[in-house]
Structure 1
Amino acid sequence: MQQFLLFLMAIVAGAMLAVQAGLNSGMGKAVGSAVYGAFISFLTGGIALLAYCLASGVALGNVRRAFEIPWYYWMGGVLGGFYVFAIIVLAPRLGVAVTIGLTVAGQMIFSLVIDHYGLLGIPTNPINWLRILGIAAIIGGVVLLRTH
């Protein structure tokens, strides 16, 4: 049952990304800048997360540990900012389905590399032909979305 709930959460998160692409594109268009649109998205997300932390009583004691880890872990926010910026630029030009399909293909390709080498402390899971076939199916799906 727990595995099912985790899968469901992943599907809902993916669905939210598609909705977010449309919302963020609208924000970027409204403010006349993809960068400011992405900034507003992160600002409102940050405020929502802070409100959640305060309302739920999440302990702040371990937050200082963030200053003890290597610098590259801080790049997650920069990478997220680039992702939102890219979605704002790409969704109106390519459509939400193709944009999300391509970003998922990129995520899967780099996820295989991270898994294969155990980068960033992730347990290793070697690349094999079936995993490559899965990525090829995603790319094939994007081609079908783009051409039909």
Structure 2
Amino acid sequence: MIIGIWLAVLAGSLVSLQNIFNSKVNQHVSSWGTTTLVLGMGFAASLLLGLVFEGKRMFHLVNMQPWYWISGIIGVGVVICLVQALKRLEPTFSISIVMTSQLGFALLWDSMGWLGLEKVPFRLSQLVGVLVIIAGIVVFKTGGSLGRPKRKQTPNRKESEPAV
């Protein structure tokens, strides 16, 4: 279990790192160019590493439903949407929304047993957990200033300096 937790933490850090790189690439090329570059390099790296570690076994696709192959197309949607979200939102805010969305939809698909998943009984505590995360994102984004009037700040003036 510990190894699984560490791998999940590593995956999360790599996703965040990839998003930073994607946003930097997107500053120089279009979103579609970014997506093509990212997924093209991912394909090349996956193919090379797969051949090194698994050889021809990598292409042995026994008992796989062909519609599972659309995962690559879904990956295009993931990269395009993330790049666009990062353009419009702060990176931490957009990633926190993405992660919460992942958790919420995973809860839905598990609870419904959709897409060939084993149906997992829905518990109210799971929904409360997702809602607590959403509340945390709201607090993070607003800085806990909901309901408080914002202080007006004058640029290039310290609070100790008198107004002119």
TM-score, scaled to structure 2: 0.79
Q: Which has the higher contact order (CA 8 A, sep 6+)?
A: 1
- Work out which of the residue numbers 86, 91, 94 in structure 2 matches 1:96: 91
Unaligned runs of 5+ in 2: 144-164
Q: What is the CA deviation profile of residues 12-45 of structure 1, one whole-angstrom value per residue up to 9, with x for unaligned ones? A: 10111111111001111211x1111011100111
Tell me the CA shift for residue 129 of structure 1: 1.0
SS of the residue 1:65 aligns to: coil
Aligned sequence identity (%): 25
Query: Shift in Å at residue 66 of structure 1?
Result: 7.0
Counterpart secondary structure, 1:124: coil
Task: Return closer, same or farther for 1:145/1:118 CA change in 2, 3 Å cut-off.
Answer: same
Structure 1: 5+ residue stretches without partners: none
Contact 1:97-1:145 within 8 A present in 2 as well: no
Q: Which runs of 4+ in 1 moved over 6 A?
A: none
Measure, in 2, the Cα distance between the counterparts of 1:116 and 1:127.
Answer: 5
Q: Determine the structure 2 residue equivalent to 1:74.
A: 69
Aligned to 1:28, which of 17, 26, 29?
26
Residue 65 (structure 1) aligns with: 61
Aligned to 1:10: 8
RMSD: 1.8
2:41 maps to which residue?
44
Q: In the TM superposition, what whole-angstrom CA distance separates every residue of 1:86-136 from its partner, at most 9, and x where no partner exists?
A: 111111321111111111111111111111122222222122111001101
Separation of aligned partners in 1, 2:4 and 2:138: 29
Q: Calculate the TM-score normalised by the size of structure 1.
A: 0.87
Q: Does the residue aligned with 1:12 lie in a helix, a strand or coil?
A: helix
Q: Separation in 2 of the partners of 1:19 and 1:147?
A: 24
